[in-house]
Amino acid sequence: MEQATCIARRSKEAAGETESTEGYKRRQTEELIKFANDNGLWIDLSHLNITYMDRGGENEVFHDGNVSVVKLNDFEYAGDDLENFFIRIAAHNKFFGNVPYQMIGFAYNSQQEFCAVLVQPYILAEREATEDEIAAYMQALGFEMDYYDEYHNSDYEVFDAVPNNVLYGIDGNLYFIDTQIRLRS
Q: How buried is residue 113: exposed, middle or buried, by Cβ count under 10 Å (0-12/13-18/19+)?
A: middle
Within its chain, how far is the Cα of 79 from the centroid? 13
pLDDT one-digit tens code per residue, 80-114:
999 999 999 999 999 999 999 999 999 999 999 99
Does residue 161 register a pLDDT over 80?
yes
Whether residues 105 and 164 fall in one domain = no
Q: Indicate if 132 and 95 belong to the same structural domain.
A: no
Question: Which CATH number is 12's domain given?
Answer: 3.30.200
Judged against a pLDDT cut of 70, whether residue 136 lies above it is answered with: yes
Q: pTM score, two decimals?
A: 0.90
Element (H, E) at 50: none
Distance separating alpha carbons of residues 65 and 69, to the nearest angstrom: 8
Of 67, 88, 121, which residue constitutes the final position of a domain? 121
- Structurally, the chain folds into a number of domains equal to 2
Q: Which of 121, 148, 166 is the last residue of a domain?
A: 121
Q: Which residues does residue 45 pair with via DSSP β-bridges, in sequence order?
A: none
**140 in the same domain as 178:** yes
Domain range for residue 171?
Answer: 125-183
Residues 6+ apart with CB under 8 A from 58: 73, 74, 75, 76, 77
pLDDT at 15: 59
